[in-house]
Each structure stands twice: as C-alpha cells, then as structure tokens.
Amino acid sequence: MHTVLDAIATGNPPTRCRQEEAARFMQQVEGSPEALRKRLPAIYEKTGIDYRYSAVEDYARAPEDFTFYPRHWDGDPPTTAERNQKYREVAPGLAERVASEALAESGHAPAEVTHLIAVSCTGFFAPGLDVELVKRLGLPRDTQRTLIGFMGCYAAFNAMRAAHHVCQHQENARVLVVCVELCTLHFQISQTIRSAAVNALFSDGAAAAVFSARKDDEARGRLAYAGGHTLLDDDSGGEMTWDIGDTGFLMGLTARVPKVIAGHLPGYLDALLPAEISRGEVDFWAIHPGGRAIVEQAQETLGLTDGQVADSFEVLRRRGNMSSPTVLFILKRFLERHQKARAAGQEGFRRGVAMAFGPGLTLEGARFERA
C-alpha cells in the first residue's frame, strides 16, 4: 500500500498586518524599555517577513479601539484564560475551513474519513479540537481521533507519520490531518531582544492534508509519503522552550538555534535518505522557515541553490512562522506543481524532502516519492 498525499488546503485569520505595522504596534506597548522600542523596526525588518496574520483584530486597530488588549495600554495584559478563550472562539472555525477545503480538493466525502489527527500547541479545551471537527465536518461518529499537542513547529511530521502507519495497515484508510495555531495570542511585552525577536516571527494559520491508502495501480504517478526520521539533540533542550505563564504561553528562543540545527543536518539527511539516493537526486526541499537564519544555515550546510529554498522564504515572507501548519503551506506549493505537471502529461516530481525543527531541539522530516 502507498500513503498518497491527496490534497492540502491552507488558511489564515482575516486580520493581516504588514511587518512594519506590527513593529509600530509593539512600539506603543507600555512597559517595554525605551532603548528596545527604538530597535524594534530593525528587528522586525531583519526577519524577512512582509506580512503576518492574526486572530487578534487589535493588531490592525488604534489603542482606543482595542477589544483584546487593554485600551490605551492602561490595564493589565490578557490572562492565560482570556487568551485561551480567544483560541476556543477562533481555532475550530479556522480548522474547519481548511479541513473542508482539503476534503473537497481530495474528492473524498466526510463520510469516507476513517481517522482524524488534530495538531495544535497554542490552546487547550475539552471536549477538544478533534471532537469539534468531527461534529462540524459531519465525520462518522466512529472516526478514530488523535490529538497531537505542544510539540511546536515540527508537530505536522508526527501527524504525517501517524497517518502513514494507519494507511499501511488499513486498506480503506482516509486520514485527515489538521494543524491550527494562533501564536499571536501569546505575544508578550518585550523586555529583551530575545522576546522581541519571538514577537517579530510568529503568525497564525491552519492547514489540512488528506492521506489515503492506495494500491499500486491507484497510486501510480502520485506523490506519496515514503518515510520519516527523528533526531533529538539532548544537549540543547533549553534553546527552544514553550511554557504556560499567567499571561499566556511563553516562548523561549535563543540565537544559537540555527547553528545547532545546521550542525546536525548532514548526518540527519544521511539517516533520512536511503543509501542509494543522494541529495542531488532530491527534486524539492520544503524546509520549515522557523526564521530566516534557519533556512539560510540549512541552505549553506546542504549546498542548496536559491531556487531550492525559494518556497520556504516565500511562505515566510508572505505569512511568517505559523508553527505546525507552516511546512504544509510549503508542501502545498510542490503538490500543486506536481498535480499540474501530471495533468499536462508530464511526470512531475520524483522525490522530495520536508523538514522542521522545534523544542528538544528536535529535527523532524519526511521523504515523498512519486509512486
């Protein structure tokens, strides 16, 4: 059986801000050191991001019109409970939208879904996102559900691996993977360069993918998940963290992350790719843009061309780092090119590699092959 990637759909909340607008917004926040406020425009410009999306409408409003943050910055910041309530109000609808689009693009009816894998690390509630999606989408009540939480930017790979295991053991499997993150709910008042950098990177978004078990004749010519690999660096657990505080979830991120990741990449790729396949035989690279420096370091370490990392930079430029859905935004671009090539009578891509990085530090990745 092949684990065919049938479709990917992506989406964002309606509030979109230019990066320079976001910098100006954060400059207004009372409580930040004046010296840091002056540096914010340069920090935001350095990210390589032009636009970001948010579930918080305040980022596009004047302080007197705030509904999430205290008006005129004259009150306490939203509590964790208030931020989580906003997550509960927004996340299910956004997840439902991309899931519905992915199912429609795949040609599968909701009644055909056998398994649902929901991914998120920016909010909690129960009955959870998985239950909400079963009800909203009209999935069968016996749909097997898995919820993957608090794994950060690489979590989509754990979902894809789970989908692959299902498809390899159930010949009628139709697995719906849904990732949704509302990172901007947890922005904090910047007190350090490090916290300002976190505020400058993250964005909100959602993506859904449909995987199906297919026999050789059904899968021929289509992109299929062909395996994955995990690497945990035990010596860098403190380089990237995600904790629950009184005023939201608190992100810890050091400047060492790109170099630590780059140091592991050659050995990691050797383990991910079969011995008979060289890096030069990989047709596409979907590298999670945790930040511009991460992609730049990966490009230099792996000897990739500008064209091979252009899609990662473009998703970062247009949408920022959305945590777990981000790699699916990149994969969607390659899947659409492959499907367009096949429709035109061409072969399309032969194989590709996708990778993401997160707390641990953890490197996660997957191979995709034309069946």
What residues are annotated to the active site? 153
* Nearest C-alpha neighbor of 334 from the set 280, 370, 364, 298: 370
Pairing of strands 223-232, 362-370: antiparallel
Closest to 362 in 3D by CA, of 228, 229, 231: 231
Q: Residue 258 burial by CB count (10 A; 0-12/13-18/19+): exposed, middle or buried?
A: buried
| C-beta atoms surrounding 74 within 10 Å | 8
H helix runs in the chain, sequence order: 19-27, 34-45, 80-106, 129-137, 155-169, 193-201, 216-219, 257-272, 292-302, 306-319, 326-343
HSE-CB at 249 with a 13 A cutoff on CA atoms is 22
SS3 305: coil
Tell me the CA end-to-end span of the chain in Å, nearest whole number: 10
Answer for the pair 248, 43: CB distance below 8 angstroms, yes or no.
Answer: no
Q: Is the peptide bond before 289 cis (omega within 30 degrees of 0)?
A: no
Residue 347: φ, ψ to 5°? -80, -30
Contact 176, 102 (CB under 8 A): yes
Give the angle subtended at the CA of 317 by the CAs of 177 and 13, to the nearest 5°.
50
Under a CB-based contact definition with an 8 Å cutoff, are residues 351 and 276 in contact? no
DSSP string, 325-346: THHHHHHHHHHHHHHHHHHTT-
How, if at all, do strands 115-120 and 51-54 pair? unpaired
